[in-house]
Amino acid sequence: MKKQGTIVKTNKMEIKVHSLGRVEGDLDVKVAIEDGVVVDAWTEATMFRGFEMILKGKDPQAGLIVTPRICGICGGSHLTKAVYALDTAWGTEVPPNATLIRNIAQAAETIQSIPRWFYALFAIGLTHRNYASSKLYDEVVRRWAPFEGEHYEIGVTVSAKPVEIYAIFGGQWPHSSFMVPGGVVSAPTLSDITRSISILEYYRENWLEKILLGCSAERWLENKTWDDVLAWLDEKPEHRDSDLGLFIRYSMEIGLDKYGAGPGRYLAAGSFFNPQRYRYPTIAGRNAALISRSGIFDGEKFHDFDQARIREDHTHSFYRGSGSYHPFEGLTDPVDPIEGRKEGKYTFAKAPRYDIPGIGETPLEVGPLARQVIAGRPGAEEWQDYDPLFLNMIKEIGPSVMVRVLARLHEAAKYYLRMKEWLKQIDLNEKFYIKPKELPEGRGFGATEAARGALADWIQIKDGKIENYQVITPTAWNIGPRDRHGQRGPIETAMIGVPIKNPEDPVELAHIAQSYDSCLVCTVHAYDAKSHKELAKYEVIKMC
């Protein structure tokens, strides 16, 4: 991080860090530090997103064109939830082949992001000079140094392969709109299926098993507890010396397993549908048809996911008023930040909350760790994912930066195997699209799991036009601000208790933000380009 100057008068200080995330957009964080430890934090999305306002009054299918442009990284995920929102609003029939291809496309985008995020966005921070005294430091630099690291180059290069599969079915990636209500507008051939399997095998042979795991995907997925992972680490030199093995050992040495826990409460909207069980998509029938299950974990108990319990709080966000609204009643009415700050507002991100029965509106972490904790819920149906590893890990060693990163790397093996199975299930002699009836009135809800977490759309249609459209992104869940009850957002909570070695270069804060992979392009887009206001600088400044 670029240093702008920090003056320490006492053992108490505040610092503000600009552009903390490495992915598109800007995340600013202000933290209060006492005796070298963070005691309070405020996250700030510095620019306004207005896609909901753009969509109002448009044709209902405009969401299929506009929302994939929200993000150049998760455009396929945006398309996936947008099409399911319309499927539920129009009451379509979706042939099983179309569901399989939607699943494959969603998974392809996710496994693309895993090596790209790990090497290009997260692991380069581990080469920071703060850790030069570690006995593993030289090896970490040799493998993961930006642009020069041996595995950095391999990981970034291989990350481009899975989206070739997306392009085979979707015509392009990113910003495709090939998923439509009633199916997909592609008709793959046997050659397309064969090419896709070949690309998946390239991903496995050249990175997943050779570089990341040091073993087969199946062997890694045999690990069901943290003790299993430790035993796996010692089982063979190939495991210990793999990138996953090195990451675990290095994390425990430099303390990434000791901070960044977050709220300890999780939400997953779920993703990937059983092709036969979601032929007629409805909001009510969604949970039962999911392969990667939805759910809430409140730190002690699991709860079923119900989109009707989601709220967005505006109290500390640069939007008019201070209410808390369900997205069907959601408002997007921005105010000038200068005026908003007079009311205690400090960010353009709203504060998503989930009304947990018996607890109330609660900030929840979303993302790979949330998904894998929910995967540990007992009672999965035969076609659904059951995987207790990360539920065991948060109980045995607690959540942390290390555990959150491990959850994301873990998904590379799971999704690779699922994609292979879905490709085999496509029946080239059956339909891929059934033309729906375009209803002039309706309400729809669609959701999926983007690489970085739960992503959902709510659409209301009136007189054949969009009456209201609301999007809640995973980054909004994680970087959202305080709410009217004074509850911090998940990343704000994750910052508390973090030891800062050097306040002028607080790399520890970056590790936390980047472990969530906050993507502000999903949350912010443009704000008053003619004002000449400072929007973002990569710096640390003294606040008091």
Q: Given this model, what pLDDT does residue 52 score?
A: 87
According to the model, what pLDDT value does residue 20 have?
63
Give which of 481, 340, 472 is closest to 27, Cα–Cα: 481
519 labelled binding-site residue: yes
Angle at 126 between CA 505 and CA 111, to 5 degrees: 125
Q: Among candidates 424, 360, 368, 322, which has minimal Cα distance to 101?
A: 424
pLDDT at 4: 41
Please tell me the predicted confidence (pLDDT) of residue 322: 87
The answer, yes or no, to whether residue 136 has pLDDT greater than 50, is yes
Predicted model pTM: 0.92
Question: Is residue 30 within 8 Å of 42, Cβ to Cβ?
Answer: yes
pLDDT above 70 as % of the chain: 92
Confidence category of residue 422, pLDDT binned at 50, 70, 90: very high
Confidence of residue 10 (pLDDT cuts 50, 70, 90): low
Q: Is the pLDDT of residue 518 over 60?
A: yes
pLDDT over 90, % of the chain: 82
Q: What is the pLDDT of residue 187?
A: 87
Q: What is the mean pLDDT of residues 124-132?
A: 95
Q: Which of 268-272, 356-360, 491-495, 538-542 is predicted with the least confidence, judged by mean pLDDT? A: 538-542
Question: Is 52 labelled a binding residue?
Answer: yes
Judge whether 135 and 246 are in contact, CB under 8 Å. Answer: no
**pLDDT value at 6 more than 70:** no
Q: Which of 428, 168, 477, 154 is nearest to 311 (CA)?
A: 477
Confidence band of 7 (pLDDT split at 50, 70, 90): very low
**pLDDT, position 536:** 37
Tell me what pLDDT residue 534 has.
Answer: 41
Classified as helix, coil or strand, 272 is: strand
Residue 15, pLDDT score: 86
378-388 average pLDDT score: 97
Q: What is the mean predicted confidence (pLDDT) over 422-432?
A: 97
Instruction: Answer yes or no: is 544 a known binding residue.
Output: no
**What pLDDT is attached to residue 443?**
97
Question: In the prediction, which pLDDT does 25 show?
Answer: 53
Which DSSP symbol is given to 67?
G
Q: Is 522 marked within a binding site?
A: yes
Other residues' Cβ atoms within 10 Å of the Cβ of residue 283: 19
Please determine, for residue 532, whether its predicted confidence score (pLDDT) is greater than 80. Answer: no
Task: Render the burial of 62-84: b for 16+ CB within 10 Å, e for the rest.
Answer: bbbebbbbbbebbbbbbbbbbbb
Give residue 21's pLDDT: 59
Average pLDDT, the chain: 91
CB 154 within 8 A of CB 207: yes
Ranges assigned E (strand) in 61-165: none
- Would you say residue 524 has pLDDT above 50? no
Which pair of tokens denotes residue 328? 């069907």
Instruction: Please enumerate in sequence order all residues whose Cβ is within 8 A of that of 21, keeping only pairs 6 or more positions apart, or say none.
Output: 27, 121, 513, 514, 517, 518, 519, 520
pLDDT at 228: 98
pLDDT at residue 151, as a whole number: 98
Is residue 112 a contact partner of residue 488, using CB atoms and an 8 Å limit? no
Whether the Cβ atoms of residue 536 and residue 46 lie closer than 8 Å to each other: yes
User: Quick one: pLDDT at residue 204?
Assistant: 98
Reply yes or no on domain 17-27+37-542 having CATH 1.10.645.10.
yes
Closest CA relative to residue 523, chosen from 78, 197, 104: 78
**Predicted local confidence at residue 526, as pLDDT:** 35
Residues contacting 259, CB < 8 A, separation 6+: 400, 401, 497, 498, 499, 508, 512
Residue 29 confidence class, pLDDT cut points 50, 70, 90: confident
DSSP labels, 469-490: EEEE-HHHHHH----TT-PPPH
29-33, 58-62, 141-145, 221-225: range with lowest mean pLDDT: 29-33
Which tops the pLDDT comparison, 5 or 470?
Answer: 470
Quick one: pLDDT at residue 193? 97
Q: So what's the pLDDT on residue 377?
A: 98
Highest mean pLDDT (candidates 5-19, 72-86, 164-178, 403-417): 403-417
Q: Known binder of ligand: residue 329?
A: no
pLDDT at 505 over 80: yes
DSSP H helices in 256-400: 286-289, 337-341, 368-374, 389-396
Q: Is the pLDDT of residue 5 over 50?
A: no
